[in-house]
Amino acid sequence: MAETILNRRIVMASRPTGMPSLENFSMEEVEEPYDAPDGGVLLKTLFFSLDPYMRGRMDAGPSYAQALEPGGVMEGGSVCEVLASRDAAFKPGDIVLAGTGWQTHPRASAKGLRKIDPALAPVSTALGILGMPGMTAYTGLLNIGTPKPGETLVVAAASGAVGSAVGQIGRIKGCRVVGIAGGPEKTRYIREELGFDVALDHRAADFGEQLKAACPGGIDIYFENVGGQVWDLVRPLLNNFARVPVCGLIAQYNGVEGGGPGSSVALRSVLVKRLRIQGFIVSDFAAQREDFLRDMGAWVASGEMKYREDVVEGIDNTVSAFIGLLEGRNFGKLLIRP
């Protein structure tokens, strides 16, 4: 057995302003003993997840999670193999869902690890359709969006990990689903592969007109996971009693796009249209994990629910992949195989 192991990890070197750049990150290489800490495990990362929320975590301001401090390892979900264990519940070879972030060979407390059965589905799905993004879509749409047959559901970032699941659950629940994505490849995908009723390209010059034409009966649910310009176009089309789950605002994380941090809703229209505008993050609905795994697992197994992964090889490509994600350049659930 090797005496030591080299852990490569990416830390936040400095807080970004707007879009992060390479110099906001640095790679650390640490030679550590090939051994588990007391009550914990030594892990080999098979996949780690890149998600838009991670940008928010880099800011100092108040957010729904504690801010990362400069020098800290970038946090996030991971799927790992246990190399060594000092906890009775885990043994070498086990595959676990962890939260060890951007590193190759992390150490972790056994608390907070969850075993994954590789026989049920590819283990990477624990970070995607059967993990946080899938559960974000499921809990936000069902609890706040409350879709009913015949209603019109509009989803932005519709080819992404959350948006693609939102739209497909909407279809399963009988909604007419209008997806918004960037570019012909993504719109083709959501219409032809995922079966959305309408796919719109937000880069089109007449996108606002297209959106209006695509929703002749107005909008009953808008799953807000983008912020900015799309919201400003959606707002006047909302029907009475429309629901707006607000799950994450990629554009606003960088303060770059149209609506920016000023994206808002007037209380007068909340009243007049009887709107329900509600923010959430997936952990708010942690109690629904079993329901989620049962339903989503069945939909994936039956082929009703499709998903797409965008796997980038090598931890050295992490930062450019992350910036691409924030710029909308990824296509499917973005994972790093370090």
Which stretches of the chain bind its own copies, using CB under 8 A?
62-64, 224, 227, 231, 240-241, 246-249, 252, 261-268, 270-281, 284
Q: How far is the CB of 158 from its own copies (least distance, A)?
A: 18
Q: How far is the CB of 243 from its own copies (least distance, A)?
A: 9
Cα(90)–Cα(211) distance, rounded to whole angstroms?
51
Cα(180)–Cα(157) distance, rounded to whole angstroms?
6
Cα(24)–Cα(293) distance, rounded to whole angstroms?
36
Q: Which of 236, 274, 244 is nearest to 147 (CA)?
A: 244
Q: Judged by CB, which is closer to its own copies: 52, or 338?
A: 52
Q: Judged by CB, which is closer to its own copies: 23, or 284?
A: 284
Q: How far is the CB of 290 from its own copies (least distance, A)?
A: 22
Q: Is 146 left (phi over 0), alpha (psi -120 to 50) or beta?
A: left
Q: Judged by CB, which is closer to its own copies: 188, or 212?
A: 212
Beta carbons of 147 and 166 less than 8 angstroms apart: no
Cα(9)–Cα(78) distance, rounded to whole angstroms?
13
Q: How far is the CB of 215 from its own copies (least distance, A)?
A: 17
Beta carbons of 30 and 64 less than 8 angstroms apart: no
CA quadruple 58, 62, 66, 72: dihedral, nearest 10? 30
**Angle between the N-to-C axes of helices 289-302 and 132-139, in degrees from 0 to 180, rounded to the nearest 10:** 100
Q: Judged by CB, which is closer to its own copies: 40, or 160?
A: 160
Backbone angles phi, psi at 100, to 5 degrees: -90, -5
Q: Which two tokens stand for residue 274?
A: 């009887």
Q: Judged by CB, which is closer to its own copies: 273, or 337?
A: 273
Spell out a b/e string for 220-234, using b for 16 or more CB atoms within 10 Å of the CB, else e.
bbbbbbbbbbbbebb
Q: Judged by CB, which is closer to its own copies: 4, or 17?
A: 17
Q: How far is the CB of 300 from its own copies (least distance, A)?
A: 28
Cα(265)–Cα(271) distance, rounded to whole angstroms?
11
Backbone angles phi, psi at 268, to 5 degrees: -60, -40
Q: Judged by CB, which is closer to its own copies: 8, or 273?
A: 273
Q: How far is the CB of 240 from its own copies (least distance, A)?
A: 7
Q: Judged by CB, which is closer to its own copies: 111, or 268?
A: 268
Q: How far is the CB of 218 from its own copies (least distance, A)?
A: 13
Q: How far is the CB of 272 from its own copies (least distance, A)?
A: 5
Cα(2)–Cα(25) distance, rounded to whole angstroms?
29
